[in-house]
Amino acid sequence: MDVSDAILKRASIRRIKPDPVERAKIEKVLEAGRRAPSWGNTQPWRFIVVQDKARREEIAAAGGMPQISGAPVIIVCCATIDDFTKKGHGAALESLIPAGAMTEELKNFVLQSDQFAPYLKGEAVMTVRAGEQLMIAVAYMTLEAVNQGLGTCWVGAITPAGVHKAMNLPDTIFVHSLLPLGYPDEDPKPRPRKAVDKIVFWENYG
């Protein structure tokens, strides 16, 4: 399946079969997230794969979404601000130098720039930036799930603090969303989308 087909086929799947999902397929989905782009190569995402039934039920209930516990896999999608501290961001930029995508001079400029260094603006901004990058990774994962014949539903209307507590996560990790994963038990019709001329403009707005 090519990317265009996956984009067209993807839909939010809320009814998922209880059948177990092969580890190789789960790993393909996770690899898609790992390959996503991120600000300065920070890669602030962290994913916790939960398959144990009792654990799934606990996490789903803690997040205020008990109905997703029937999915054979729940991926707890988290992010960390550690990768946006001066040390973390600096290490990420440093990793780009051998690949020819960064220089020492440019790295130092970025780390001192209000525009490019979120740590200079505080924890709240670092949290926003980490969440933004995580969403890119999750989008990649939903498309790879389609490619693997799996269904997902990006669940963001949760109680993050409840999941954070249930998972006993450190303070520098925050829970962003849950991604139930499994074989679809429904084939929903395509959702309506706004017409292209309502959202795309050439040269000027309007």
Which residue, 88, 65, 87, 86, is CA-closest to 76? 65
- How far, in Å, CA of 202 to CA of 206, rounded? 9
User: What's the confidence (pLDDT) of residue 193?
Assistant: 93
Q: Using the predicted structure, report yes or no on whether residue 65 has a pLDDT greater than 90.
A: yes
- How far, in Å, CA of 74 to CA of 141, rounded? 13
Mean pLDDT to the nearest integer, 23-42: 97
- How far, in Å, CA of 194 to CA of 206, rounded? 15
Q: Strands 45-50 and 173-182, how do they pair?
A: unpaired
Strand order in the sheet with 173-182: 45-50, 73-80, 173-182, 151-152
Angle, helix 86-96 to helix 104-111, in steps of 10 degrees: 160
Q: Whole-number mean pLDDT of the chain?
A: 95
User: What's the confidence (pLDDT) of residue 1?
Assistant: 84
User: What's the confidence (pLDDT) of residue 8?
Assistant: 86
Give the pLDDT band (50/70/90) at residue 129.
Answer: very high
Mean pLDDT to the nearest integer, 107-114: 94
Domains and CATH numbers, the chain: 3-35+48-82+124-186 (3.40.109.10)
| Burial annotation 169-199 (CB, 10 A radius, 16+ → b, else e) | beeebbbbbbbbbbbbeeeeeeeeeeeeeee
User: What's the confidence (pLDDT) of residue 191?
Assistant: 87
Percent of the chain with pLDDT over 70: 100
User: What's the confidence (pLDDT) of residue 182?
Assistant: 98
